[in-house]
Amino acid sequence: MTGKQQALEILGDGKPHSHRELYSRLRGNPNVISKLRKDGHNIVTVRHQGEWWYQLGERYTGRPAPAPLVDGTVPEVAPDQMSLEDVL
């Protein structure tokens, strides 16, 4: 199991985990969090009482959710992703 897989398994419970816990469970590989972020994972980081806490958020897809159109319908793709055929 890679360090990234191991970190996702730890963070997958949806609960916050301290830097100290992650550092010890990932055998001193603190770069895993930044690698997961580069892969598109949303890792929320908060400093509380002198300790850093990490929690897995929703995965960032890079595409915004489409907003409803004037007629109330929601397109399957955002307007900036539509082709001319979608509009006409």
In CATH, 3-56 is 1.10.10.10: yes
DSSP string, 21-71: HHHHHTTS-THHHHHHHHTT--EEEEEETTEEEEEE-PPP-SSPPPPP-TT
Domain boundaries, the chain: 3-56
Q: 4-8, 31-35, 64-68, 75-79: which range is least confident on average? A: 75-79
Q: pLDDT by residue (tens digit) across 16-44?
A: 999 889 888 887 676 888 889 888 888 88
